[in-house]
């Protein structure tokens, strides 16, 4: 049995390997969504089951949860094609096998020791553009997966150390930005190379058996700690439901329904009341849904080690045919909006059992925005450009204080790309980037504030596409807290401000030089009764301009 000091050292060393892989990709990727926003992750996975063993601290947690399914898919396909060899790397973006959506390319590399498979290292990263009908691939009107992006099944991109140029040619032919794709792929391959070298060094130092024992002990520790936390919660069933505005195709709300059941040291998450799979791209695959549950539970129980043991005491009930258990060819490109709503309902159901652990709902949408066109200046005439970015908002209030203002979505540790980077890379100018007054939910602890972003086009012409949520159903408070403001998207064309017919989703917005798009993002919901908020806190909010005269009354 490992002594506690050795276990702590090995845990830190293993996590450092994943952290170094993250840092390598961030520093070498070409596209700002990886390099600046850190929309990527790396982890270590079990050789027999593909289960999560270790994740980096700066990568997206939802990727790490979904990557276990990606590793299993690579294992299955490799077994059908003669197995894996040392130096192989498998690549794919199939969201039904590996989770999330087609922009997120997964690379899986086996690590061998003296001819025996020790574990897998895996990398996931959001590539800037991978074909499809909409630049940047957030197509709010897609009705099948092929309208969203090119579909790549698990294939060997590196065979025994040699890059497969045929596969690379197919990838580069299916993007509007081949240089960006090539740079991002190289960054991921370099990160996996580094991870393999670091892991070999650690195994040489401590021995394979000791490191394997530590990995098993860490999973068992997560399992025991999770069961202990659940056992301390009051037994019972707690229900909550929330809505998506629409699916981008039919303007009808969609329900995410949860029955959370606590019985002794086991927790059940039953989503069977959720709306059926829909026509538009807010469906998600089963792998993505389970990854969303993993992320929510890690928020609620942050001291539990981040590995597959988190889910060992949890039953996730996902009947076939739901919005959150969709199969090919249902479109899944807007997965971010749906997993955010899953996290929302888990938080709100848990707040009924243990409000001190839960947070009120965050702003609940990444507001995926792409603006694309061709350069008109003489030096770059006709060159394609695609600006894709996501945007922030307020987080929910909680038992320890007010929510975070202008944060990123709780599915990730990504950052919002700096406006200086976006302005330097693309022909746009931000005419406003500010906190949004009166956007937070009231409460003993108010939610964090949302933001206002206004972007002016500097090129002759371009098209804009937006994929958002919370335009009709505001983020909710818990424990008596109030709701936040709704999400608002507008665009200025021909001197007139306009709004999308479906509130938060629209494609093909024609812009000319000087036209603008404007996002006003929600804040977070409030925590606790508004009458309990301290007077000095309200005075501070008014002085800072967070509220105009006390928080405006909200309705969901």
Q: Are 71 and 301 in contact (CB under 8 A)?
A: no
The SS3 call for residue 44 is strand
The full DSSP string for 92-120 is E--HHHH-S-TTEEEEEEEEEETTEEEEE
Structure tokens at 248: 């981008």
Q: Are 394 and 362 in contact (CB under 8 A)?
A: yes
The SS3 call for residue 372 is strand
- Return all residues near 141 (Cβ < 8 A) that are at least 6 apart: 133, 147, 248, 249, 280, 507
Q: Are 282 and 244 in contact (CB under 8 A)?
A: yes
> What residue ranges of the chain have pLDDT lower than 50?
550-556
Q: What is the pLDDT of residue 413?
A: 66
Closest listed residue to residue 415, CA positions, set 39, 2, 126, 8: 39
Q: What is the pLDDT of residue 549?
A: 67
Residues pairing with 506 in the sheet: 466
d(CA 177, CA 69): 28
What count of other Cβ atoms lies within 10 Å of the Cβ of residue 153? Answer: 11
d(CA 548, CA 537): 14
d(CA 150, CA 138): 13
Q: What is the pLDDT of residue 412?
A: 67
The SS3 call for residue 262 is strand
Q: What is the pLDDT of residue 550?
A: 47
Structure tokens at 196: 């393999």
d(CA 247, CA 332): 10
Structure tokens at 104: 């997120």
Structure tokens at 302: 């942050």
Helices (H) and strands (E) in the chain, counts: 11, 20
The residue written with tokens 């490992």 in the block is 2
Q: What is the pLDDT of residue 121?
A: 97
> Can you give the C-alpha Rg of the chain in angstroms?
23
CA atoms within 13 A on the CB side of 291: 33
The pLDDT tens digits of the residues spanning 144-163 come to 999 999 999 999 999 999 99
């Amino acid at each position: 049995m490992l002594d506690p000091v050795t276990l702590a050292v090995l845990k830190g060393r293993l996590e450092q390997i994943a952290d170094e892989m993250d840092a390598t990709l961030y520093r070498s990727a070409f596209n700002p969504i990886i390099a600046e926003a850190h929309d990527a992750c790396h982890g270590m996975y079990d050789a027999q089951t593909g289960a999560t063993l270790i994740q980096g601290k700066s990568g997206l947690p939802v990727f790490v949860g979904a990557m276990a399914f990606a590793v299993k898919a690579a294992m299955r396909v490799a077994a059908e094609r003669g197995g894996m060899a040392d130096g192989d790397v498998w690549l794919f973006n199939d969201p039904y096998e590996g989770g999330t959506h087609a922009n997120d390319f997964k690379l899986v590399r086996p690590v061998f020791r003296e001819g025996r498979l020790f574990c897998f290292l895996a990398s996931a990263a959001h590539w800037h553009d991978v074909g499809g009908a909409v630049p940047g691939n957030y197509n709010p009107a897609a009705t099948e997966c092929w309208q969203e992006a090119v579909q790549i099944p698990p294939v060997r991109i590196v065979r025994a150390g040699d890059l497969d140029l045929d596969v690379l040619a197919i990838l580069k032919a299916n993007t509007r930005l081949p240089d960006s794709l090539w740079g991002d792929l190289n960054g991921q391959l370099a990160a996996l190379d580094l991870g393999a070298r670091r892991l070999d060094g650690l195994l040489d130092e401590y021995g394979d058996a000791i490191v394997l024992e530590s990995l098993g002990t860490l999973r068992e520790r997560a399992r025991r700690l999770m069961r202990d936390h659940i056992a301390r919660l009051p037994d019972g069933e707690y229900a909550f439901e929330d809505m998506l505005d629409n699916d981008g195709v039919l303007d009808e709300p969609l329900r995410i329904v949860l029955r959370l059941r606590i019985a002794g040291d086991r927790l059940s998450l039953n989503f069977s009341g959720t709306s059926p799979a829909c026509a538009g791209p807010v469906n998600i695959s089963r792998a993505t849904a389970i990854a969303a549950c993993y992320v929510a539970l890690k928020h609620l129980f942050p001291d539990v080690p981040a590995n597959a043991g988190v889910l060992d005491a949890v039953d996730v009930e996902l009947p076939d045919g739901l919005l959150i258990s969709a199969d090919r060819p249902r479109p899944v490109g807007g997965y971010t909006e749906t997993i955010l709503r899953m996290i929302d309902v888990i938080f709100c159901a848990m707040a009924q059992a243990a409000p001190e652990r839960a947070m009120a709902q965050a702003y609940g949408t990444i507001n995926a925005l792409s603006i694309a066109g061709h350069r008109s200046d003489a030096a770059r005439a006709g060159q394609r450009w695609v600006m894709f970015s996501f945007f922030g908002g307020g987080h929910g209030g909680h038992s320890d204080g007010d929510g975070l203002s202008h944060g990123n979505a709780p599915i990730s540790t990504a950052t919002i790309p700096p406006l200086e980077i976006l302005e330097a890379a693309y022909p746009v100018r931000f005419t406003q980037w500010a906190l949004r007054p009166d956007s937070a939910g009231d409460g003993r602890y108010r939610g964090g504030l949302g933001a206002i972003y206004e972007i002016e086009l500097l090129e002759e012409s371009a098209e804009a596409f937006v994929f958002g949520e919370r335009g009709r159903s505001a983020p909710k408070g818990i424990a008596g807290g109030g709701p936040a403001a709704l999400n608002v998207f507008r665009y200025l064309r021909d001197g007139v401000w306009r709004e999308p017919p479906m509130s938060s989703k629209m494609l093909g917005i024609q812009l000319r030089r000087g036209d603008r798009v404007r996002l006003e993002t929600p804040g977070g919901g409030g925590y606790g009764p508004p009458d309990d908020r301290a007077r000095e806190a309200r005075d501070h909010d008014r002085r800072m301009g967070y509220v105009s005269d006390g928080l405006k009354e909200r309705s969901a």
